[in-house]
Homo-oligomer: A and B are copies of this chain.
Amino acid sequence: MKQFFSVKDIPSLSLAAKSALESKQNPFADEALGKHKTIGLVFLNPSLRTRMSTQKAATNLGMNVMVMNMTSDGWALETKDGVVMDGNTAEHIKEAAAVMGEYCDILGLRSFPGLKDAAEDYSEDLFSKFSKYCGKPVVSLESATRHPLQSFTDLITIMEHSHYQFDQEKAQYIPQGKKPKVVLSWAPHVRALPQAVPNSFAEWMCKAQEEGLVDFVVTHPEGYALNEEFTNGATITTNQDEALVDADFVYVKNWSNYESYGQITCTDSSWMLTLDKLKPTNNAKVMHCLPVRRDLVISSEVLDSDHAIVIQEAGNRVWAAQAVLKEMLKNQ
């Protein structure tokens, strides 16, 4: 695997999930793989779970980890070509990425979108350039439009809380009984947030639906449709109550408006997930990528109930990262 940027980099979700769950059972089985290998984790934005879980995964694989916080430890990078660099950017991404590639066998990059220009953000210019210029396999630690380590984690968390059996012959998981119904449900927030997590979750769940693993529904207020590229095959509705009926998993997440790009056009607090809203579900498990603002996005009573599996979900970040790094190390 030369890149982990979107679900397209994963040939089979079943096999990827299997690898992650095996690492969870036996975290140090592949410790020899990463010996004398270095991963550089480059953060252009803050991080808690991604930073710690990826570092843990790399260490489990015997790798050496170097963390680089560009904002506090480094400087601003130029990404545009052909500009006279007489302003605030001190280094072009061409050189910065290539240099980091000299020191590292694998790189991870986190970079949030500006949320001002949809075309720019959705071009994923920064990630692509970094990936191209560094010359090494790159793991997205969340880019402008996707957060694939989170979505991979979400997949294995859903699988752990459902009933699947691995069919050796078909080389894939088969649901035992009814396929779980997974609902992505928009929630209110006070800040304009990226679409990366819901885009990515939707793109992974659409593929999981294709592979026969889940049924996938998206619900959001009028006007909050995600870019269609990510929701292809999903059932989409603006009726949250209807969406939640018989749900097995409710994935709650705010995102800013994609059409009115980067704006907050709905603050309707009735979209917050509460215990009441969970009544018509199939005793649904509640998920969120965290950090979550309590009593704004999800009510405290939900987060403090057995419905919530957000902590186990966060814990699983290690195993998703480890599966990805394992694959990259095997190919070196």
Chain A positions within 8 Å of B, measured between CB atoms, are: 27-28, 36, 38, 40, 43, 46-49, 51-53, 55-56, 59, 64, 66, 68-70, 72-75, 78, 81-87, 89-92, 94-96, 98-100, 102-104, 190, 290-296, 300, 303-304, 310-312, 314-315, 318
Q: A95-B290, A98-B311 are in contact. Are A69 and B73 (CB under 8 A)?
A: yes
Q: Give the CA-CA distance A304 to B133 in the complex, in Å.
A: 12
Q: Give the CA-CA distance A56 to B300 in the complex, in Å.
A: 39
B96 in contact with A68 (CB, 8 Å): no
A48 in contact with B318 (CB, 8 Å): no
- Pick 16 A–B contacts, CB within 8 A, sort by A: A27-B36, A38-B56, A46-B74, A48-B70, A48-B73, A48-B91, A51-B68, A52-B100, A53-B103, A69-B72, A83-B295, A85-B295, A90-B293, A94-B304, A96-B291, A99-B315
Query: A89's closest neighbor in chain B, by CB?
Result: B293
Q: Give the CA-CA distance A17 to B191 in the complex, in Å.
A: 51
Question: Which chain B positions have C-beta within 8 A of A51?
Answer: 68, 73
Question: Which chain B positions have C-beta within 8 A of A291?
Answer: 75, 90-91, 95-96
Selected from B40, B52, B75, the residue in CB contact (under 8 A) with A52 is: B40
Q: A78-B294, A295-B83 are in contact. Are A103 and B52 (CB under 8 A)?
A: yes
Query: A78's closest neighbor in chain B, by CB?
Result: B294
Query: A45's closest neighbor in chain B, by CB?
Result: B73
Min CB distance, A283 to chain B, in Å? 22
Q: Give the CA-CA distance A53 to B190 in the complex, in Å.
A: 40
Q: Give the CA-CA distance A83 to B299 in the complex, in Å.
A: 10
B300 in contact with A95 (CB, 8 Å): no
Q: A84-B296, A315-B102 are in contact. Are A95 and B56 (CB under 8 A)?
A: no
* Known interface pairs A69-B73, A90-B293; 8 further A-B residue pairs with C-beta atoms within 8 A, sorted by A's residue number: A48-B70, A48-B91, A56-B103, A69-B72, A82-B300, A84-B295, A95-B290, A98-B311
